[in-house]
Amino acid sequence: MLRYALGFFIVALIAAVFGFTGIAVAAAGIAKLLFFLFIILFVVSLLAHVLRRQ
């Protein structure tokens, strides 16, 4: 999932360089959403692992 976020971030950067502001904003929004979703899933997974060890 982090790979998808990174991919959308790269698409947003390329679109921003070429001046496609609508595409850049959409790709950056998707990348941001996927990044935060990845962070949330990581924290939940980490907590589940810690609680399972006890």
The residue ranges of every structural domain in the chain are: 2-53
Tell me the pLDDT tens digit for each residue of 6-39. Answer: 888 888 888 888 888 888 888 889 889 988 999 9
- Whether residue 1 is predicted with pLDDT greater than 70 in this model: the reply is no
Quick check: 44 pLDDT over 80? yes
Q: Which of 26, 9, 51, 52 is closest to 1 using CA atoms?
A: 9
Q: How far apart are CA 49 and CA 54, in angstroms?
A: 9
Token output for 34: 């996927």
